Amino acid sequence: MDSNSFLMVDCSIHNQDMYYATGFLAEDRFLYLKSGDKEIVLVPAMELGRARKESRISDIRTTTDYGVIEKLKRHGRERAYCLVVSELLRDEGITQVSVPHNFPIFIADELRSQGFEIKPIPSPITKLRGIKTRNEIKYIKKAQICCEAAMKSAVDAIRRAEIRDGVLEDSGHVLTSERIRAVIEHTLIDCGCESHSTIAACGTDAADPHNAGTGALIVDEGIVLDIFPRLRMERYCADMTRTVAKGSPSQALLDMYDAVLDAQTAGIGMVRAGISGSDIHNAVCDVFEDQGYLDLFIHSTGHGVGLDVHEEPHIGAGGGILEAGNVITIEPGLYDHEIGGIRIEDMVLVTENGCETLTTMEKRFVV
């Protein structure tokens, strides 16, 4: 039993492995233990009722069951919690347990001091999350519908904008990155989503892939719009990027856009179960190399999407073999600090013989 025991201690609002394993969403830390075929959740007493209603796990216990109040009085909060954990492990006959690499070091050290063998391993939950169930795919598609509604609202605002003194204006006000983000985020809120770090980066701001963008949107410049919302209730994410321009962008920008679109088309065309993320990335790099842009491609080709916006599998150097049920992005980009940045991102579901594209919005540069 020991060799099959796996322990996590964390909150599930930020640790998606905890949420996936338990189905219980909580701001405060709690415990998940899997030992053989047995699964246990240990929560504060105040969370017992909610955990019983929401968690998929039937064996739910509280820290009060293990005398946490008396332990708190004698040992303080952190050590008391460690003593509760150790008592639970002993009750289950466990002397050695595997934990994820991000397991709290204080708890690990305390457990070791009490004679337990603690072995950090890559989380097996993370691997399980890579292959999506029918319900998970449904939730991701729902998030993507919201994502595309927000993208459409942003692109429509840019399309409607007037041009004055080299900048975009809307109803007499300068249209800024900040205002476009507000448009996006208001749409997402109305759709039942939350979003953080939305990108609306114009001109040379867009030459840094994760620059959120600030200030006025400039005529003839590329505007990178990268939206990655999470459903508030179901917790699943979507992710997409479009790059647009209002006016008459330079030939250099037009050529970069065409190269990115060619590279993305090549990448998506390779997606199927049994191919590696590394092979897809190499194919994208080959397109850029053939067109003389390889030195401007500075990130991986894509990533998995699910409960986290960035999760396994990795579509880049060293990326492993794809499996049917993976949901991934293909998002090549080019970044030139003299010209700006271009990125196009679609999300696809890996199938046995290819993929299903989950992103339906058109790819039009000049709007």
Tell me the DSSP string of 332-363.
-EEEETTTEEEE-BEEEEE-SSSEEE---S--
pLDDT bucket at 33, cuts 50 / 70 / 90 = very high
Q: Phi first, then psi: what are they for 42, rounded to 5°? A: -120, 120
CA distance 20 to 236: 11
Chain segment 107-139, per-residue pLDDT in tens: 999 999 999 999 999 999 999 999 999 999 999
The CA distance from 220 to 124, in Å, is 48
pLDDT at site 1: 38
CATH domain 134-357 topology: Creatine Amidinohydrolase (3.90.230)
Note the pLDDT tens digit of each residue in 72-99: 999 998 999 999 999 999 999 999 999 9
* Structure confidence at residue 3 as a pLDDT band (50, 70, 90): low
Tokens of 232: 């508030």
Average pLDDT rounded to a whole number, residues 177-189: 98
- Ranges of each domain in the chain: 2-129, 134-357
Which CATH architecture group holds 2-129?
3-Layer(aba) Sandwich (3.40)
Tens of pLDDT, residues 347-359: 999 999 999 999 9
Q: Which residue has the tokens 């322990």?
A: 7
Judge contact between 191 and 279, C-beta under 8 A. Answer: no
Q: What is the separation of C-alpha 85 from the centre of its chain, rounded to a whole number of angstroms?
A: 30
* Count of H-run helices and E-run strands, the chain: 10, 21
C-alpha to C-alpha distance for 55 and 78, rounded to whole angstroms:
25
Amino acid at 15: N
Give me the chain's average pLDDT, please: 97
CB 20 within 8 A of CB 31: no
Report residue 220's pLDDT band, with 50, 70 and 90 as the boundaries: very high
Do 134-357 and 2-129 have the same topology in CATH? Answer: no
- Percent helix, strand and coil across the chain, each to the nearest 5: 40, 25, 35
Q: Using alpha carbons, select from 283, 311, 285, 308 the residue that is nearest to residue 298.
A: 285
Residue with tokens 């998940």: 32
Over residues 40-80, the pLDDT tens digits come to 999 999 999 999 999 999 999 999 999 999 999 999 989 99
